[in-house]
Amino acid sequence: MAWPKFRSGMADLRSGAVTISTKLGPVGLTFSERGVTGVTFRRQASTPKNTPAFVRTAAQQLQQFAAGKLVRFTVPLDLSAGTTFQQAVWQTLRKIPRGETRTYTWVARQIGKPKAARAVGGACGANPLPILVPCHRVVASGGGLGGFSLGLPLKRRLLALEAR
């Protein structure tokens, strides 16, 4: 995929959005000058113009991930929209290895709030960066999938993709 060169300085760019094609379908990326702020699934892709290098890198890494390749996401993320609690949850989610799952209770313990499993579920549901912040790797203690803001069919698909 050929990407246009980013001609403006980052100081000129406050925020933006692009939509890319992946094997999982069109994926929208929103960004600020600090990093990627959101990942959403769209109906169709568009041609990104004047995107910063880190957004082009995020797009390439998401395309590789969707193709089943082992990817370590290296792009800066802007998680500033979350509360302190949500940010702690999201940072913990980033430590769950690909192909593995953890429970909401496990995440709660990791952030020092062992009785906050339900609140962890809420923070997972509010995660603006699914895949980059892998909330799909968090499951219920009883063995069920739990929830997923983008739907359980996609959660199953992501877990199966990572299990390969």
Chain centre distance of CA 64: 14
Whether residue 104 contacts residue 121, with contact meaning beta carbons closer than 8 Å, is answered with: yes
Separation between Cα atoms, residue 78 and residue 82, nearest integer Å: 9
Written as six digits, the tokens of 74 are 């290296």
Q: Is 124 a catalytic residue?
A: no
Helix (H, G, I), strand (E, B) or coil at 136: helix
Whether residue 81 contacts residue 128, with contact meaning beta carbons closer than 8 Å, is answered with: yes
Which of 39, 108, 135, 139 does the annotation list as catalytic? 135
Among residues 25, 20, 21, 17, the alpha carbon closest in space to that of 158 is found at 25
Separation between Cα atoms, residue 49 and residue 139, nearest integer Å: 38
Question: Which positions are annotated as active-site residues?
Answer: 135
